[in-house]
Amino acid sequence: MNDTTTPGTTINAPAGTPFLEVIRDFDATPAQLFRVSTDPELVTQWLGPRDLDVELLEYDVRPGGRYRYIHRDESGEYAFRGVFHSVEQDRMVIQTFEWEGAPGEVSLDKWTYTEVDGKVRLHMQSVFGSVETRDAMVEYGMESGIRDSMDRLAELLVKEG
């Protein structure tokens, strides 16, 4: 995967780098998007692919707070965890991200919420420990999970108004 765009979501994974970038504009304010993307009651309604159930075990969005969730389907369970490092209300979240199926392979993720032309732009930047780790996550289906999550997040913002 290199640069790919579908209506609304742009994913950039430059070849030969450990970086991943996701950009999506939403019809909302930064405060609305921040709330929907960090409120544990709402996170379960948009996080992950549509064909997986999600169980949120922990989601404490504050510096030093942790998160852990499990996606399930008929094939099994897929658990993820991390730590929130920096949280600036309505502006930014920096966190680690680890799929428990690849222990020790942790990315550092930065989410920024910026007003652009009356909308809010979610800009996600991830850096992985190696190009191989980033490529393995992409191969495992990260792209489709991101696209589904972004679409579900947009739907939830409409519903939450």
| Domain residue limits, the chain | 3-160
Asked whether the beta carbons of 51 and 73 are under 8 A apart, the reply is yes
Which among 51, 33, 45 is positioned nearest to 144, based on CA atoms?
51
Question: What top-level class would CATH report for the domain 3-160?
Answer: alpha beta
* pLDDT for residue 7: 60
Tens digit of pLDDT for each residue in 89-139?
Answer: 999 999 999 999 889 999 999 999 999 999 999 999 999 999 999 998 888
Share of the chain above pLDDT 90, in %: 86
pTM score = 0.91
For residue 9, CA distances in Å to 13, 21, 76, 102, 106 come to: 13, 10, 28, 26, 24
Mean pLDDT for all residues in the chain: 93
Instruction: Count CB-CB contacts under 10 A for residue 132.
Output: 11
Tens digit of pLDDT for each residue in 39-88?
Answer: 999 999 999 999 999 999 999 999 999 999 999 999 999 999 999 999 99
Q: What is the length of the chain?
A: 161
The rounded distance, in Å, linking the Cα atoms of 124 and 22 is: 5
